[in-house]
Amino acid sequence: MKNTDKTNMTGTATKLSRRNLLLATGALATSTGTAAGMSTKTSTHLEALGGSKHKRVTTLNGRSLPYRLRGGVKEFHLIAQEFEHEFAPGTTVKAWGYNGSTPGPTIEAFEGDRVRIFVTNQLPEHTTVHWHGILLPNGMDGVGGLNQPHILPGETYAYEFTLNESGTRMYHPHADEMVQQAMGMMGLFIIHPRSTEHAVDRDFAILLHNWAVHPGTSRPDPSIMTEFDLWTLNGKVFPVIEPMVVRTGQRVRIRLGNLSMHDHPMHLHGTHFKVVGTDAGRIAESAQWSMTTALVPVGGTLDLEFIARAPGDWPFHCHKSHHTMNAMGHEVLNPLGVKQSDLDAQIAKYLPGYFSMGEKGMSEHQVHTDMGHHPAPENTLPMGAGKGLYGNLEMGGMFTLLKVRDHLRNYDDPGFYQAPAGTMPRRVSSDPNFKL
Amino acid sequence: MLYKNIYALTLFFLLGGCANLPNERVEREVGKLAEEQGAGKISWRRTKEADNAVKALINDALSAGLKPDDSAQLALLSNPDLQVHFETLGIERADYLSAASAPNSVLQWQRLTQSGVDGAAVEWGLTRNILQLILWPTNRRVAKLDMDGAQLRAADEVVKLALRARTEHMHALAQQHIVELQVAHTDLARLAFELAGRFREAGNLPLGELEEERTRWMEARRALDEEKLQSFNDELNLSRTLGILGLGNELKLRGQLSELPEKELSLLDLERLALQRRLDLRAAYQSTKARLVRLGSVRWARFTPSIEVGTTTAKEDNGSQTSGLTASLELSLFSQQEASLAASDSLARLAMRRAESLAMDVRVQVRQAQAEMAVARARVEAWKNEVIPARAVLVDNRVREFFFMLKGPFDPMRAKQAALEAEIEYTRALRDYWEARARLALATGDLSLSIAEKMT
């Protein structure tokens, strides 16, 4: 399948007639083999969605699912399947997801739309899809064995319902749920309101997840309940997660869904935001308040909104510090303060290249991995990575940047922000006993 | 005329044959047989000078360090048990000389006096057992066959000793290497304990875990002591086999255990080889042959057990002298040598059965040794091709995981210890293989089977 994102959801789409658009999307949506040639680059469209003032959401490292219109019903096609998924160069897994990606493509529609969603099961076991947070007839709720028979391997089921509310929702299996979600089967379902009252300039969609991909393995381990190895935003880890690029003064929305096993306190630098919505819809303005960290609960969504106040590179990350790291051994003996370097040469007699680490902290880790001193275990990412203008970022996992710029030609990554003179800290002494 | 004939006959009776088999020839024969089996040179030390020469040789060899071949050679020159065996061979040689010599004539002399009469009658006689004379070549042949058998058995002892020395050398070499590996293993345990101490000093390790590391180090030291004791015993055994105890020389072993040979001989080839080459089997066949020859001679002489002829001269007291011939024949009326025949018959069959039994033992020994060798080979290949590479991968993984903060420093150290343990087991397996191969060499009588091409 060709890249549907680029074909249907780039700037060229606005030049197409509605009929042409539907023909194009319909032709592509009915084809299969979506894993092949799928781009994970975020579409950088600025165009309106369906002629309204609502912008399409930007799914970081992802895309939205195309649809076709048939008899007034928007038809989508999800294909549940296994494929190779890359968290960042150096780590791939055999994941399960939809249409070749995890999370699956974001479904976007409007409040009041009638949608028909075909679900083809190419997995080795049965599945279903639960439309998380959407109010619909009980039979369409997607709980295997309860509301419907399971969708057996090779079968295609059609779900059909009307979207009666707007907001950020999710979809995921309700069959062998522990395994299938651990393997990556999930996606966001964005229902835009008909009203343009709360339209924003930039609308980002992010699904939070965790992965038990033990070092040296290449298939997620569904049996893990709390000790995960990788923490992802839209299936990627920093620094592969794309930045959110906005213009100064723009109204920005970040939609967060959490289908991981942990709550995540998501923290944004450089501005205050308000939580304006949950997976039950828009929160009344009187109930909103400003904050910089919002706890996204397991199985819930939050919509954050703010005005991009000042230019700069502003981190957006989970504030559980282990969630902004990649795999590390939590049983590792604490090396901090352990004077042991005099033993290195003796140990290196038996383990060539051995040297002790962590006596003064763990920041040296990225130095060594970047310089190639440390060969990586099979299919394993270093704990921290990423370089900025002034050094190593020493981050991984759930970390990205909100890049605010006064002037933008497009929403491609503008590179690092160079702070103007006089707006940065300066070194005043190198004497550790410095006194005022 | 009669006197002339009597004198001639007397001369005949006095003539005979002496068997001649000097010790040097026996030593040469045994040495030649042993060398044909792949053993080194021997020395049957019968003089002080020979002892001194061997001592000088030992000193030179020890100062240079011994290879497996040197140990085998040294044992042949110096091992006291082999000298004991050679001296036993000397006794066998004496038996041979006795059995192979011509039967002696019997000289009779008697002086008879009559009471009341002066003077005495004196009678001289010389007799010889003609039957023994007739059987002399046969007896000589039997004695020769027995002596050959004794030499074969002596050569077999030489081969066994050479093999034992070589095997003990390899065993001691392997054990020395195991000690080296165990030293490294113990040193890693020490380092782990020291490292644990540093973690403890920093406040990062509970006391119990530090003590756990101490215990591991103590266990490693005890294991090292055991291996060192084994090494000491191995070297002591080898010194005993080499006969060099008390010389004040330190045993310096050179060389290393060879890798596995690429191919093994087939069982059929090995059994054929054994039946051709085993010296003890050849000795058993020689013994059978000797007993059969002996049986033939007993059968032949069954009805004429003893014929004695002789000459006699009598001088009467009155001065007259008479001379003449004598003859005596044992009449086989009541005894027809049944006992002797039965004994010879049984001895012949016994020898045959012994040879048959030994041949069967040889086949069993070959098959057992070959089976043990095959199992040992499989063990060596498993350690070398599977476990050691797997341990190397584990070490590499643990180091990578350590550097990626996935494992602590003790994990790669333990992985390395496991790798060293695998090397120790590999060394034991390789040693067992060569020992099994030495048993195969012993079973086949071909010392070269215990020597790998790459043996240094």
Q: Over the stretch A374-430, which tens digit does the pLDDT of each residue have?
A: 888 999 999 999 999 999 999 999 999 999 999 999 999 999 999 999 999 999 999
pLDDT 10s digits, B267-298: 888 898 899 889 999 999 999 999 999 999 88
**pLDDT for the residue numbered B262:** 86
Query: Residue A24: its pLDDT value, please?
Result: 32
- Flag whether residue B393 sits within 8 Å of chain A, measured between CB atoms: no
Measured between CB atoms, which of A328, A332, A351 is closest to B399?
A351
Residue B58 has pLDDT above 70, yes or no: yes
Q: In this predicted structure, what is the pLDDT of residue A8?
A: 33
Higher-pLDDT residue of B85, B331: B85
Do B166 and B446 contact (CB within 8 A), yes or no? no
* CA A274-A59-A380 angle, 5° bins: 105
What is the reported pLDDT for A344? Answer: 96
In chain A, whose CA is at the least distance from the CA of B198? A338
Per-residue confidence band for B155, with pLDDT thresholds at 50, 70 and 90:
very high
Average pLDDT for B149-162: 92
Q: Please tell me if residue A418 touches chain B, with a CB cutoff of 8 Å.
A: no
The distance of B438 to chain A (nearest Cα, Å) reads 34
Tell whether the model's pLDDT for residue A314 goes beyond 50.
Answer: yes
Q: What percent of chain A has pLDDT over 70?
A: 88
Q: Residue B16: its pLDDT value, please?
A: 61
CB–CB of B406 and A362 under 8 A? no
d(CA A18, CA A146): 39
Residues 195-234 of B with CB under 8 A from A: 195, 198-199, 201-205
- Whether residues B406 and A347 touch (CB distance < 8 A) is answered with no
Per-residue confidence (pLDDT) for residue A296, from 0 to 100: 98
CATH number 2.70.180.20 given to A4-196: no
Distance CA A54, CA A111 (A): 12
Whether B23 has a pLDDT exceeding 90, the answer reads no
> Which residues are CB-neighbours of A296 under 8 A, at least 6 positions away?
A208, A256, A257, A258, A263, A264, A265, A266, A302
Range among A156-170, A328-342, A364-378, B257-271 with highest mean pLDDT value? A156-170
Q: Do B416 and A351 touch (CB under 8 A)?
A: yes
Q: Nearest CA of chain B to the CA of A232: how many Å?
A: 19
Chain pair A-B, CB pairs under 8 angstroms: 104
Q: Does B101 touch chain A (CB under 8 A)?
A: no
> Is the CB of residue A377 less than 8 Å away from at least one CB of chain B?
yes
pLDDT at B221 over 80: yes
Question: What is the enclosing helix (H) or strand (E) of A58?
Answer: strand A58-59
Q: What percent of chain A has pLDDT over 90?
A: 80
| Helices and strands of chain B, counted as H and E runs | 12, 4
CB spacing of A354 vs B399 below 8 angstroms: yes
Tell me the average pLDDT across B160-168. 93
A371–B contact, CB cutoff 8 A = no
Q: Does A372 touch chain B (CB under 8 A)?
A: no
A41 pLDDT tier (thresholds 50, 70, 90)? very low
Question: Cβ contact (<8 Å) for A334 and B204?
Answer: yes
Tell me which residue of B280, B447, B439 sits closest to B367, measured CA to CA. Answer: B439
Per-residue pLDDT averaged across A119-123, rounded? 98
From the list B195, B399, B404, which residue is nearest A215 (CB)?
B404
Tell whether the model's pLDDT for residue A114 goes beyond 90. Answer: yes
- Dihedral pair phi/psi, residue A215, rounded to 5°: -50, 130
Q: Where are the domains of chain A?
A: 4-196
Burial B405-438 (b: 16+ CB within 10 A, else e): bbbbbbbbbbbbbbbbbbbbbbbbbbbbbbbbbb
Determine the distance in angstroms separating the CA of A333 from the nearest CA of chain B, rounded to an integer: 6
Give percent of chain B above pLDDT 90.
Answer: 51
Cβ atoms within 10 Å of A216's Cβ, excluding its own: 14
Mean pLDDT of chain A: 88
Rounded CA-CA distance B195/A350 in Å is 15
Work out the minimum CA distance from A339 to partner chain B, whole angstroms: 6
Among B252, B251, B271, B257, smallest CA distance to B368 is for B271
Interchain proximity A369–B404, CB inside 8 Å: yes
Mean pLDDT of the region B90-108: 84
Q: Is the peptide bond before A239 cis (omega within 30 degrees of 0)?
A: yes
Among A1-15, B132-146, B267-281, B379-393, top mean pLDDT goes to: B379-393
Q: What is the pLDDT of residue B249?
A: 63
- Pick B391 or B100 by higher pLDDT: B391
Beta carbons of A140 and A107 less than 8 angstroms apart: no
How far is the CA of A42 from the CAs of A56, A117, A250, A313, in angstroms?
A: 12, 23, 19, 19
Q: CATH number of the domain at B10, please.
A: 1.20.1600.10
CA dist A330 → A359, B404, B408, B414 (Å)? 17, 12, 10, 19
Lowest mean pLDDT among A80-84, B92-96, B239-243: B92-96
* A146-155, B235-244, B317-326: least confidently modelled range: B317-326
Question: Residue A54's pLDDT is what?
Answer: 67
Measured between CA atoms, how close is B408 to chain A, in angstroms? 5
CA distance B185 to chain A (A): 9
Residue pair A396/A390 in contact by the 8 Å Cβ criterion: no
Whether B370 maps to a domain, the answer reads yes
How confident is the model at residue A93, as a pLDDT?
97
Say if B395 is an interface residue toward chain A (CB within 8 Å).
yes
Between CA A25 and CA A20 the distance in angstroms is 8
Q: How many angstroms separate the CA of residue B412 from the nearest CA in chain A?
A: 8
Q: Which residue is associated with the tokens 């059994």?
A: B271
Residue A288's pLDDT band, with cuts at 50, 70 and 90, is very high
Residue B455 placed within a domain: no
The answer to whether A339 contacts B202, with C-beta atoms less than 8 Å apart, is yes
pLDDT of residue A52: 57
Task: Give yes or no for residue A15 having a pLDDT over 50.
Answer: no
Is B332 a domain residue? yes
C-alpha span between A230 and A102 (Å, rounded): 14
B257 Cα to chain A: minimum distance (Å)? 23
A227, A328, A349, A350: best mutation site toward chain B, by most B Cβ within 10 Å?
Answer: A350
Q: pLDDT confidence of A2, banded at 50, 70, 90?
A: very low
**Is any Cβ of chain A less than 8 angstroms from the Cβ of B418?**
no
Q: Determine the structural domain holding residue B392 and report its residue range.
A: 2-450
Q: Name the helix (H) or strand (E) containing B28.
A: helix B23-36
pLDDT at A398: 98
Domain annotation covers residue B365: yes
Res B181: pLDDT: 97
- Cβ contact, residue pair A333, B204, below 8 Å: yes
Residue A40 has a pLDDT of 39
pLDDT above 70 (res A146) = yes
Q: Residue B87: inside a domain, yes or no?
A: yes
CB proximity A354 to B under 8 Å: yes
Hunting for tokens 């050849």 — which residue is that?
B282
pLDDT at B4: 66
pLDDT tens digits, residue range B334-353?
Answer: 877 888 899 999 999 999 99
Whether the CB of B42 is below 8 Å from some CB of chain A: the reply is: no
Nearest to A377 among B198, B401, B408 (CB): B401
Residue A25 has pLDDT above 90, yes or no: no
Contact A338 B410 (CB under 8 A): no
Which is higher by pLDDT, B60 or A172?
A172
pLDDT, average across residues A23-31: 33
Q: According to the model, what pLDDT value does residue B321 have?
A: 86
Q: Is the preceding omega at residue A103 within 30 degrees of 0, hence cis?
A: yes
Q: Does A351 lie at the interface with B, CB-CB under 8 angstroms?
A: yes
Number of domains making up chain B? 1
Between B262 and A350, the more confident residue is A350
Percentage of chain B modeled with pLDDT above 70: 94
Which of B391, B404, B407, B413 would best serve as a mutation to test chain A binding (most A beta carbons within 10 A)? B404
Contact A57, A205 (CB under 8 A): yes
Strand partners, A245: A403
Whose tokens are 């085993």? That residue is: B278
Mutate to test the interface with A, among B183, B401, B406 (most CBs of A within 10 A): B406
What's the confidence (pLDDT) of residue A336?
94
